[in-house]
Amino acid sequence: MISTDIINSIFPRDTLNDIETDLENDLALFLEWISFKPPLMDPSPRIRVAIKNVVNINNFNGYLHNSINNNFPDITITTIDETMMNIKQVYQFYSDIGKFLGLDISPIINYKFQILLEKPQFQHLLITYFDDNLLQFDDCLSPVSPKFNPPAGDKGLKGDTGDTFFYQYLPIFNQLNVGDNIMKIVVSVLIKKIKEYILNNCVNYELFFIDSINQWIKTMIYPNFKILLRSIDANFNYLSEILTISHNEFISLRINQIFDMVKAYPQSEPGLIELNKCLNFKNESHNQRDRLVSIFLDKIDSELLNSGINTINLIKMYIKIIKSFLIIDAKGVLLDKVIRPLRAYLKHRDDIIQKLVIGLIDDSSSNELIALNIELSKSEKRKLKIDEFSDLNWVPDPIDALPDFKNFKIKDIIESLISIFDSKEIFINEFTKFFGNKLINRSDNDISKILKLINLLKLRFGKNEFFNLDIMIQDILNSSPQLTVLSHLYWSDIIPESTGSVHEELNKEFAHFNKNFQKKSFNRYLKMIPELSKVTLKVNGKNYQVDMHHASVIMMFKDKEEVGLDEVVRELNMNEYNAGNVLKFWVEEGVLLKLGGVYVTND
């Protein structure tokens, strides 16, 4: 390409005007002749003499170029038609001069037009022109298109558009030797068109689009584009490149939508599947994968990692991230990269273990994390699968995996959530507490359900982790409806601290249980746990099922008609608040009456 520097080095600053010889007159006449007044006049005999004299000047060629450079007319940029006609006229004028003189002046002419072409206004003019007309070249008359001879009388607007371009503009561009520039502009317009098409038509990630994009390229964009560019480059054949460009545009859109897509899972499955498809196309670089990861991580940081979002929603999102990213990348490498910050964050949420435990265990529709319960119920099948295939199907980790990538742990939702925490113990403790409370308030139906759940949990957390719960279950299975016997060391979370002693008569009755138990239990004896025990009493002909404290208090009235609060506190080692509550219960039941500072029977 010719630059100003090169021109200046070839042509000294001097112009033909500066030569002060006897040729002065001839020069004036010659300069007048070549000054831009289109069309170029046929030179008169006097001018011909002048030309003859000046061409013999030393380095005339250089002077001529310099003069054209300095006197080149400004081409005002108006409409495409006017501007192109203007260019044509200027070009014609100077190339006629060259022809007449028998000199090649195309370097300076092309250089001037090159500058014109690079002007933003002119670029803008061309971009607008191609933008408006690109999709109308298809039907037109093109010198190199297979449709060189269109059916007669079927021209219309499209035909006119093509005619104008191919017969009027294109020859000018070809003469100016600016095919590469035009090609660049057309490609930029093409990309703009593809972008617009995708942004206007493909935003909804709940639908599939790749097929319709390909179809649009093949029937709309490519034929027009090919006709146009083959007139510049006859070997043009870039369908696969254009498809790649459009797929890249499409991925860009989906990558920008990634956070919303994950949030919308499973409705967004079509979008995720197509993202996977595009990322796996042959020409795809790792750039898009990296961009996907960094955009998603930014979103996680700004949208999820703050205390305003409750733990349930965070876990829901965690599950969606796993499911979505395994669609995008089945190997789990991308998932591994995007899930790490959320894992680190969840680890320190106070209620996370409790929420996960309930999510896993509760099979009712009120469980907001029912997905975990469903996943747990699939554990049996999963275990089988892993045993069968683990060794046979081993493959090395993908190349862009992080060094501590764990293929197995990352893909399984429950495994992934458990592995957030360094030890399983906190889960086991929570399960033990949860099931312990269920077992102690048992109904027979519950026990078989609990057993089934614990068996599923054992598949996930390891069989031996549940030995404490196994003992608790064994205790319950060995118990009768009248008497539950606990191995106390294993119920420490459930057995409450003593809140009082038991009435003598209840203790005496309980001694029968102890006697029976000792008969079949070597040297073991029983201690009643009043806070967990219940008794059914018949009081004044009516049955009440109450705990030992309520029973003990009312039994004090068996032999006495009147008992004071202080007496209850003293005799049953209860605190005043609890004793007061129990008495209040019996008053509300109509069994006792409160008279001043004492309670009396209401027979």
Partner 1 sequence: MKVEIVDWQAVASWHWDLKDDSITDELCGICRVAFDGTCPNCKYPGNECPLILGAGCQHNFHLHCILQWLEQDTSKGLCPMCRQVFEFRKDFNTVTKDINSLLMLIDGHKSMRDREVDEEFDSFDDDLRMND
Binding site for partner 1 (CB under 8 A): 440, 467, 470-471, 474, 481-491, 495, 505-506, 509-510, 513-514, 517, 519-529, 532-541, 543, 545, 551, 554-555, 557-558, 561, 591, 601, 603
Amino acid type, 382: R
> Exposure of 251 by Cβ count < 10 A (0-12 exposed, 13-18 middle, 19+ buried)?
buried
Q: Which is nearer to partner 1, 415 or 470 (CB)?
A: 470
Q: Which is nearer to partner 1, 4 or 492 (CB)?
A: 492
- Min dist CB 466 to partner 1, Å, is 11
For CA atoms 86, 88, 94, 100, the dihedral sign is negative
Query: Is the distance from CB of 235 to CB of 292 less than 8 angstroms?
Result: no
Q: Which is nearer to partner 1, 206 or 505 (CB)?
A: 505
**Count of other CB atoms within 10 angstroms of residue 554:** 23
DSSP-derived secondary structure letter, 601: E
Distances (CA, A) of 248 to 192, 198, 200, 245: 13, 11, 16, 5
Q: Which is nearer to partner 1, 127 or 526 (CB)?
A: 526
Q: Which is nearer to partner 1, 408 or 467 (CB)?
A: 467
- Min dist CB 596 to partner 1, Å, is 19
- Min dist CB 430 to partner 1, Å, is 22
Q: Which is nearer to partner 1, 377 or 514 (CB)?
A: 514
What's CA 81's distance to the chain center, in Å?
A: 47
Q: Which is nearer to partner 1, 429 or 533 (CB)?
A: 533
For CA atoms 407, 410, 414, 420, the dihedral sign is positive
Q: Which is nearer to partner 1, 215 or 487 (CB)?
A: 487
DSSP three-state, residue 177? coil
**Count of other CB atoms within 10 angstroms of residue 61:** 15
- Min dist CB 499 to partner 1, Å, is 14
DSSP three-state, residue 150? coil
What's CA 424's distance to the chain center, in Å?
A: 30
Q: Which is nearer to partner 1, 330 or 477 (CB)?
A: 477
Q: Which is nearer to partner 1, 96 or 571 (CB)?
A: 571
- Min dist CB 336 to partner 1, Å, is 39
Would you state the torsion angle of the CA atoms of residues 267, 272, 274, 279, taken in this order, to the nearest 10 degrees?
A: 170
Residue 527, token pair as written in the block: 């201690």
DSSP-derived secondary structure letter, 547: E
Alpha-carbon distance 82 to 73, whole Å? 15
- Min dist CB 524 to partner 1, Å, is 5
User: Which are the contacts of 421, defined by CB distance < 8 A and separation ≥ 6?
Assistant: 347, 353, 427
341 sits in which H/E element: helix 333-346
- Min dist CB 583 to partner 1, Å, is 14
Q: Which is nearer to partner 1, 310 or 474 (CB)?
A: 474
DSSP-derived secondary structure letter, 205: T
For residue 38, report the phi and psi dihedrals to the nearest 5 degrees: -65, 155
Q: Which is nearer to partner 1, 456 or 591 (CB)?
A: 591
DSSP-derived secondary structure letter, 395: -
- Min dist CB 463 to partner 1, Å, is 11
- Min dist CB 445 to partner 1, Å, is 17
- Min dist CB 251 to partner 1, Å, is 57
Alpha-carbon distance 592 to 127, whole Å? 97
- Min dist CB 503 to partner 1, Å, is 10
DSSP three-state, residue 482? coil
- Min dist CB 449 to partner 1, Å, is 21
> Angle at the Cα of 120 (from 73 to 37), degrees rounded to 5?
10
What's CA 439's distance to the chain center, in Å?
A: 44
CA neighbor of 328 nearest in space, from 284, 275, 263, 285: 275
Q: Which is nearer to partner 1, 35 or 545 (CB)?
A: 545
> Angle at the Cα of 404 (from 403 to 405), degrees rounded to 5?
95
Q: Which is nearer to partner 1, 367 or 533 (CB)?
A: 533
Query: Is the distance from CB of 551 to CB of 566 less than 8 angstroms?
Result: no
For residue 574, report the phi and psi dihedrals to the nearest 5 degrees: -95, 155
Residues counted in the chain: 603
- Min dist CB 497 to partner 1, Å, is 13
- Min dist CB 454 to partner 1, Å, is 14
Alpha-carbon distance 456 to 477, whole Å? 19
